[in-house]
Structure 1
Amino acid sequence: MSSPPVFGKVIMSQLQDNFGRRFHYLRMSVTDVCNFKCGYCLPDGYHPNGKPSFLTLSEIEQLVGAFAEVGTQKIRVTGGEPTLRKDFTDIIRLIADNDQVNTIATTTNGYRLEEHAQEWYDAGLRRINVSVDSLDPRMFYQITGENKFDKVMRGIDAALEAGFERVKINAVLLKDLNDKDLPRFLHWIKSTPIDLRFIELMETGLGRDYFQAHHLAGESIKQRLIAEGWQLDQSDVDDGPAKNFSHPDYQGRIGLIMPYAQNFCATCNRLRVSATGKLHLCLFTEQGVDLRDLLQAETQRAELVERLHAQLRLKKETHFLHQGFTGVTQHLASIGG
């Protein structure tokens, strides 16, 4: 058997930190622009900080190539709202051309999904998460600032018809807002084969008051599901920190993401790169490390890989959210959520 290729002093091996966690999942932001005004993320809407300069197709190709060589098998294209990029389909097609990437996913507010679901599927997109924080159109409008509930729901139908292997719905748990929606969500997934994911609200630098007013612990939802006969599924390598539940009477599943739960970070398997090319080892805690200077040519691949390995040795064991530390993240759209 031949030895793995060596570039400089680095063997092209899977990214791993000092705590034995391996990272095969990249969340790659392609824009921080968003056309929604969700209260927990961009309550005042998107305001550019100067003229944005997001990763180009060429830089994305170099980034994807480097991460694929160090074991990345799943790439999720994020934002902001990633589908606002005019070359979004080209980005998906570019990633699909890399045989080492097994799964291409995106997270979207669903604004362009109705018209483009089939096009994106044909380009290679296979998994899609759509943010739907309420099934009540009035509450949807209150949370998102956009009266687009019916359009988003038609987009979800289009995704199911296009043949996506997994359609997930993301809903941020919000006390005194959508916390009464659980029966509606359960009724929906009883006969609809989607994964519903409830995400516990996380505090960010600009969202302290919102967090204090609307934080709802995911543990309360977990205990309610168990009481109603839902069973915890065996963890899959793609699940990361999510806890997934299934019920014999329901076609859909429920996932809980509870960042304040004990040992939440123990199964971390993902890294993030911002739309301006900064590597983030965690959604919180640090400023990010610039990679863009090494995304200009394939001849820089060895140095880029070496920088990735070096940074992984600096990753902390936890995000420290449970200690009230929110790090430098001002809002989730800035590095892809």
Structure 2
Amino acid sequence: MLKQQAVLHDSFGRRHDYIRISVTDKCNLRCVYCMPEEGLPFFPDERVLSCAEIIQMVKNFARMGIKKVRLTGGEPLMRSDIIEIIKGISAITEIDDISMTTNGLALPKMAKRLYQAGLNRLNISLDTFDKKRYKEITRGGNLDRLLKGIDTASQLPFKKIKINTVIINGQNDHEIADFLKYTFDHDVNLRFIEFMPIQQDERWKKQYRGLDAIFNACQTNHWIYEPIRLDGNGPSENYKIGGAKGSFGLIHPISCNFCESCNRLRITADGYIKSCLYWDDEENIRAAIFDFDSFREKIQHALAIKPKNHEMALLNQEQVKNKKPTWRHMSQIGG
């Protein structure tokens, strides 16, 4: 049992009990909203946090009131020691929820091992049901393999499986009704996510599609939906269509500010803490991982400078004084 410290709060009074840790910047896909078409040079292995550093870091966070951990990437299942990492975090009694965001391609072989290691929940990316379009959006992915991974994971008693769907104007927005139909027969929470301009030029505005289209699809098909509450720390507004096994959620980083209830900090694979995914503010905490007092000081500083909101929807970013958008692509932040 670790010696518990005071719960973390930022300068706006938001309580933080949730940490997102990118365990690698490597990925076997190059999704259009996450990475440039030519790919990115990946960090050398020595630049990435080790298994021991990640586990000790979570122990530090647990002493500061963190209860929930999400492992992200890149693609976290590309780490050969991911099972060891999950087991190490699972052994920390103060942590009561461990989740992972994955592209799902390795789940046919790894889902059972992940569950047995202590993983509680999964978020799996699925942006289209069309094989050709999936290959285009992911720049090379195999849709059959992904769907098999979702089915494999669904046979295991995970607390919840969520499907992450980024709506892209002109690419998959015509499939909204198909995604909603998917919840009829699958006990998942399918979350529609607005396209975010992380390391995107002005073309992102043409790719953006507001999530009012989801409600329009329900009305067109005469589907009656009601708001519901789901356990967890996600920013989604959740709904359920009458008679459906699953549910759907909406995440509005652009059209509706979801920052007011933000309770998360992000750790990059190379050991930097980001209090907001959009801005450039970050601090290297790697050297402090095995010195708790120094570590706590760095985390408190990150909370002190955490902004009230990301303002990424501003038409003119120059309106934001003394800040600039992050240099990192989404795959280097962990979402």
| Superposition TM-score, scaled by structure 1 size | 0.91
For the Cα contact (< 8 Å) 2:281–2:326, is it kept in 1? yes
Q: Structure 2 vs 1, CA of residues 50 and 285 (structure 1 numbering), >3 Å: closer, same or farther?
A: closer
Answering whether residue 302 of structure 2 is matched by residue 317 of structure 1, we say no
Matches for 1:194-205 after TM superposition, within 5 Å: 194-205=188-199
- Per the alignment, residue 8 of structure 1 pairs with none
The sequence identity of aligned pairs, in percent, is: 33
1:208 maps to amino acid: D
Find the partner of 1:141 among 128, 135, 156: 135
Structure 1 residue 235: deviation in Å? 6.4
Moved over 6 A (4+): none
Asked if the contact 2:228/2:239 (under 8 Å) is kept, the reply is yes
Q: d(CA) in 2 for partners of 1:81 and 1:167?
A: 17
Structure-1 residue corresponding to 2:294: 303
1:333 matches 2:327: no
Distance 1:69 1:258, change over 3 A: same
Q: Deviations over 1:31-68 (max 9, x none)?
A: 01111011111132543256342100111122101111
Residues 214-242 of structure 1, C-alpha deviation per residue, up to 9 Å, x if partnerless? 11112332454477321122465x24421
- 1:36 aligned residue: 29
Question: For 1:185-334, what aligned pairs fall within 5 Å after superposition?
Answer: 185-205=179-199, 207-222=200-215, 224-225=217-218, 228-234=223-229, 236=231, 238-295=232-289, 297=290, 300-324=291-315, 325=317, 327-334=325-332
Pick the aligned partner of 1:94 from 88, 108, 111: 88
**Corresponding residue for 1:70?**
64
- The one-letter amino acid of 1:130's match is I
Uncovered stretches (5+) of structure 1, i.e. residues with no partner: 6-10
Give the whole-Å Cα distance in 1 for the aligned partners of 2:265 and 2:143.
31
Give me the whole-angstrom Cα distance separating, in 2, the residues matched to 1:50 and 1:187: 40
Are the equivalent residues in 2 in contact too, given 1:121–1:162 (CA < 8 A)? Answer: yes
Residue number in structure 2 paired with 1:128? 122
**Equivalent in the alignment of 2:174:** 180
Moved more, 144-153 or 273-282: 144-153
Partner Cα separation in structure 1 for residue 256 and residue 12 of structure 2: 16
Structure 2 distance, partners of 1:120, 1:45, is: 31
Partner amino acid for 2:224? Answer: G
RMSD of equivalent CA atoms: 1.9
Counterpart of 2:14 (choices 9, 14, 21) is 21
Task: Render the CA deviation track for 1:151-171: whole Å, top value 9, x for unaligned.
Answer: 010011110112211111111
Q: Distance in 2 between matches of 1:25 and 1:223?
A: 33
Mapped contact 1:128–1:164 kept (Cα < 8 A): yes
Three-state SS of the structure 2 residue aligned to 1:323 is coil
Q: Which deviates more, 323-332 or 254-263?
A: 323-332
How far is 1:209 from its partner?
Answer: 4.3
Shift in CA distance, 100/225, structure 1 to aligned 2, threshold 3 Å = farther
Partners of 2:297 and 2:156 in 1: CA distance:
40
Number of positions where the alignment pairs a residue of Structure 1 with one of Structure 2: 324
DSSP 3-state at the match of 1:33: coil
Q: Give the deviation of 1:188 after TM superposition.
A: 1.6
Q: Scaled by the length of structure 2, what TM-score is found? A: 0.91
Is the Cα–Cα contact under 8 Å of residues 189 and 253 in structure 1 kept in the other structure? yes
Q: Render the CA deviation track for 1:161-211: whole Å, top value 9, x for unaligned.
A: 122111111110001000011122122210110110111000022x22441
